[in-house]
Amino acid sequence: MTNSISPDVLKEQLKKTFGFSQFRGEQEAIIQNTIAGNHSFVLMPTGAGKSLCYQLPAIVMPGTAIVISPLIALMKNQVDQMVAFGINAQFLNSSLSRAEINRVKAEVISGVVKLLYIAPESLNKQENLNFLQQANISFVAIDEAHCISEWGHDFRPEYRKIRTIIENINAKLPIIALTATATPKVQQDIQKTLNLEDATVFKTSFNRKNLYYEIRSKKDIDKQLIRYIKGHSGKAGIIYCLSRKRVEEISDLLLVNGINALPYHAGLDPQVRMSNQEAFLNEEVDVMVATIAFGMGIDKPDVRFVIHYDAPKSLEGYYQETGRAGRDGLDGTCILFYTYDDILKLDKFNKDKAVSEKENAKLLLSEMVYYANLGVCRRKQLLSYFGEHMAENCGFCDNCMHPTATFKAEKEVTWVLDAVKQTGEKFDAEHLADVLEGKSNQYTQSYEHEKLSCFGMGAIAPWNVIEPEEEDDDDDEEGDDDAPKKPKLLKKSKKEPNPESQKSPWISFIKQLVIYDLLAK
Ligand code: ADP
Ligand code: ZN
């Protein structure tokens, strides 16, 4: 087995095959580590150039490298790319016919194949194991390694068996696990489950300096959305929605309003899905409205904005999805439309899960809530979530560029707690707001809450500073989920009073306070 290769030869190969004259970041050290026969664990954000870390050693080492990859579509893309570079790469997955499988296997055994992409399901099959035992394998790359962790955003149970299978092929094979997952918890889980505690860890900063992060209130979202996209016409963007139905509605809405958009979700006919994706990649369409089924492995460098129409299930997922903006290094904008109602909705989806899973899901959601509500630099929050400390504020997020006015709410917090206690801990924010403001109605009367000492305590409060920015429009709040929304042409409206803004500011204040508690239950 080759144990080292001169830096010059490696660089020459980089130029010859890929046309690059420099390694990026730690690519060279990572490649040398595999060639030396060591295990590697590579943590780099999307777009950093992870693929090259296994493609190049595969080319220079004798034998065939196995690349375990979770998505069939992704495999095909990568194989096509390698073939275009003049490298013999093949894949083995359920999309192949028996004859094709036999041909691929024969080529691998003959020793001409440099990279064999294989799905974890296929790896699990006994016949494939037998075949791989006969082949001359150089090393094993595990792409998207976070799929092994239940804490990650994309758990695939088949990933759990990978290490045992590799041992069965050849216990001495070097392994390189790669992921753009940034949370320390998932990282530990990957290393433990893959039994890669002795791997050399290569971790680069996850800071995507060219991405601008912003949270907006989900008020009048359709108008905000259309206004934003029209203000950036001709630019490529992705709108992430939670449900397939919402994807369809929003892509219709955009179309009706003159925006060149297409839907993408797992419920679409595979051919339609594929052709919509191609249209986006080939710049025939500007905006992809999609569920999170869209994006993994999509290498479109010039995505200028990623908008989350609905709150994501975790910050981890959010970071991956926003990471698809600005892969070319130029600016990308990431806007999340946020309302606490979305969190409650997501929380409801978890109700049938097993206890431990439910707890985990709640924890992930509460982290999302913190992120959306805190006035702290967004990048600082994201990176600290991923275990990276940033000393200075970034200067390139909404909180840095438009800091919200803050005030010490010690008194107000005490009043709310008093009101919650005095009313017996069973009333909603709307009722508590009435009590605090001293608003008399049939409920405050019938429960005799007007006699409480907290009644009217908060009649005057410094609200103007915590209300979300006033938007100028009227109408549609989130409708009933089962009633499909009709796409409509949205016109600029005259200034009308917003019913939202007439609600007591105490309501949103109380909701912000109870968020953490509710989710902890
Ligand atoms: P990741 O898998 O980390 O998301 P990719 O492997 O898809 O990233 O690489 C992102 C882009 O960077 C690709 O277009 C790739 O060709 C390019 N790239 C990788 N390494 C280099 C390099 N050393 N020099 C220039 N471009 C590179
Ligand atoms: Zn910032």
Protein residues whose CB sits closer than 6 Å to any atom of ligand 1: 20, 22-24, 27, 44, 46-52, 299
Q: Looking at residues 253-264, what average pLDDT do you find?
A: 96
514 confidence band (pLDDT: 50, 70, 90): low
Residue whose C-alpha is closest to residue 316's, from 488, 146, 86, 85: 146
Among the bound ligands, the one closest to the CA of 378: 2
324 has a pLDDT exceeding 80 = yes
Number of continuous H segments (helices) and E segments (strands) in the chain: 21, 13
* Higher local confidence (pLDDT), 291 or 73: 291
Instruction: Write the pLDDT tens digit of every residue in 28-65.
Output: 999 999 999 999 999 998 878 999 999 999 999 999 99
Instruction: Write the pLDDT tens digit of every residue in 491-500.
Output: 655 555 555 5
pLDDT at 51: 94
153 has a pLDDT exceeding 70 = no
* Higher local confidence (pLDDT), 458 or 140: 140
CB 13 within 8 A of CB 59: yes
Instruction: Write the pLDDT tens digit of every residue in 348-368.
Output: 988 888 888 888 888 889 899
User: pTM, whole model, 2 decimals?
Assistant: 0.72
The percentage of residues in the chain with a pLDDT greater than 90, rounded to a whole number, is: 59
Strands 332-338 and 211-217, sheet pairing? parallel
Instruction: Write the pLDDT tens digit of every residue in 184-239.
Output: 888 898 999 999 999 999 998 899 999 999 999 999 999 999 999 999 999 999 99
- From 51, 142, 178, 204, give the residue whose CB has the most ligand 1 atoms within 8 Å, as the site to mutate: 51
518 has a pLDDT exceeding 60 = no
Neighbours of ion ligand 2 (CB under 5 A): 377, 379, 393-394, 397, 400
- Of ligand 1's listed atoms, the one at least distance from the Cα of 18 is 16
pLDDT at 478: 43
473 has a pLDDT exceeding 90 = no
Strands of 143-204 (E only): list them. Answer: 175-179, 200-203
**How far is the centre of ligand 1, averaged over its atoms, from the C-alpha of 49 (Å)?**
3
Nearest CA, atom 13, ligand 1 = 49
Among the bound ligands, the one closest to the CA of 207: 2
Among the bound ligands, the one closest to the CA of 379: 2
152 confidence band (pLDDT: 50, 70, 90): low
- Of ligand 1's listed atoms, the one at least distance from the Cα of 143 is 2
d(CA 64, CA 87): 12
**How far is the centre of ligand 2, averaged over its atoms, from the C-alpha of 396 (Å)?**
5
Nearest CA, atom 9, ligand 1 = 49
CB 141 within 8 A of CB 176: yes
- Of ligand 1's listed atoms, the one at least distance from the Cα of 44 is 3
d(CA 505, CA 508): 6
**How far is the centre of ligand 1, averaged over its atoms, from the C-alpha of 47 (Å)?**
6
Residue whose C-alpha is closest to residue 487's, from 252, 242, 160, 233: 252
- From 21, 43, 52, 179, give the residue whose CB has the most ligand 1 atoms within 8 Å, as the site to mutate: 52
